[in-house]
Structure 1
Amino acid sequence: MSRLKSKPPLIPKSIIERAKKFNTTLIADALYDSNTGVMDHKIKPVSSGMKVIATAITVDMKAGDNLMLHQAIYAGSEGYVLIADGKGHKKNAYLGELMAGAAHAVGLEGIIIDGFVRDKEALCELGFPIFAKGFTPNGPCKDRPGEINTKITCGGVTVHPGDLVMGDDDGVVVVSQVKIEDVFSKAEKKLAYEQKRLEEIVEYGSKRKKGVTTGNIEPSWLKNKIGNFNM
């Protein structure tokens, strides 16, 4: 039997807007200590430039069967992204042009699948954020049950309904709702550091071109790190 649980509450718009300051690399760095949240590197957008920041609706599918993905699409709405555990299946595509178009029409923010898709040219033209492991022309079956809005694993990451999901050209990251404030705080500090470093690097390069070569742009932590290997 399939189970369709009610949609999780949307993550507040204030948090979504705050998340838009970051990219997946900043969030991945903020998650580094916990070693969780970063999906398999093979899960990438079907076309460069696709981005998604939204609340997770989870879909647990049988390998090679997209019945539950169909149901999840038509149960979806604005503010949500479908996260589908396709079990890394490579023989069949889980969706193509029609399903992506339907998901876009109902207002979903994107679809992320641990598996393959098809109709690459049409998906790229549509511009609707689809993240997957690759492409194959083979279609799936639609015969077996699954579950919607239960805990799943996608790309090696545990995903709960209602988690914050972010995807861009570098990949996909997942942040548990209970960790959002801590992760964002770390990401904001890293963002401030990177912005300051970029300014220093640009300034140094500009001065060097004018013949000024005093000072250096080594990060402050480098000498200590290297010193540890010279003991």
Structure 2
Amino acid sequence: MNRLKSKPPLISKSIIERAKKLNTTLIADALHDSNTGVMDYKIKPVSSGMKVIATAMTVDMRAGDNLILHQAIYAGSEGYVLIADRKGHKENAYLGELMAGTAHAVGLEGIIIDGFVRDKEALCELGFPIFAKGFTPKGPCKERPGEVNTTITCGGVTVHPGDLVIGDEDGVVVVSQIKIEDVFSKAEKKLAYEQKRLEEIAEYGRNHKKGDTEGVIEPSWLKNKIGNFNM
């Protein structure tokens, strides 16, 4: 049985560049209507400042066993992030300093695990983007294979090989390739709105310090929303 399927096509550079101007909060808001794509809040970067924007390579591991994760790392390359399911297992770490260093060396953009890792100090020093639920010193076994590049669930989100994955300080979001244009359109619109609001807030603050109390700072949608409850 071939447990290592071919890598999915990389997401285009133009999409990646657009994604770099966004963040997980904007994407999550754009995904709100579909109620999918936002991973469990416990999956966070192991160190502050870690970010990843890449094409998903999925790893279907056996509980407590990281054998297939080793294989996936050596099959990885630039532009890809490994997304690994750990089957709800909480007793073992799935990677540490050596595997993270190897993933960095082969060019992978990061690793996201619905589970635990170890060697926190070394991982923080390396700076390679690792997202996980926490740490434990107990290592895994390496006895049973899994599968690479098959549909998995990670952090409560269904992930397909080739999906767009964005991770930052707030967590991880996943966008299906067929939804990218729609999601990005909504996220970019929200970004423009937020930038405008920040400018309005800053201007109001400057005027307020000068003693100018005219004008309003509340957004127009607030009055409309509150008005609906008063009807």
Once the two structures are superposed, residues 144-199 of structure 1 have per-residue CA deviations (whole angstroms, 9 ceiling, x without a partner) of 12110000000000000000000000000000000000000001100000000000
User: Is the aligned partner of 1:172 residue 2:172?
Assistant: yes
Amino acid at match of 2:113: I
* Divergent runs of 4+, >3 A: none
Is the Cα contact below 8 Å between 1:43 and 1:171 reproduced in 2? Answer: yes
Q: Could you tell me which runs of 5 or more consecutive residues in structure 2 were left unpaired when the two chains were aligned.
A: none
Aligned positions of 1:177-188 closer than 5 A: 177-188=177-188
1:229: how far off?
Answer: 1.9
Stretch moving more, 76-85 or 86-95: 86-95
Aligned positions of 1:87-126 closer than 5 A: 87-126=87-126
Aligned positions of 1:14-53 closer than 5 A: 14-53=14-53
Q: Equivalent residue for 2:206? A: 206
Is the Cα contact below 8 Å between 1:89 and 1:114 reproduced in 2? Answer: no
1:78 partner SS: coil
2:87 partner SS: strand
2:90 partner SS: strand
Is the Cα contact below 8 Å between 1:62 and 1:87 reproduced in 2? Answer: yes
**RMSD, aligned α-carbons:** 0.8
- Percent identity over the alignment is 89
1:100 partner SS: helix
Amino acid at match of 1:111: I
1:123 partner SS: helix
Q: Equivalent residue for 2:77? A: 77
Amino acid at match of 2:135: F
| Matched length | 231
Question: For residues 90 and 219 of structure 1, what CA distance do their matches in structure 2 show?
Answer: 45
Amino acid at match of 1:139: G
- TM-score w.r.t. structure 1 length? 0.99
1:6: how far off?
Answer: 0.2
1:227: how far off?
Answer: 1.7
Closer, same or farther: CA 39–190 of 1 in aligned 2, 3 Å: same
1:2: how far off?
Answer: 6.1
Amino acid at match of 2:72: A
Question: For residues 99 and 228 of structure 2, what CA distance do their matches in structure 1 show?
Answer: 54
Amino acid at match of 1:228: N
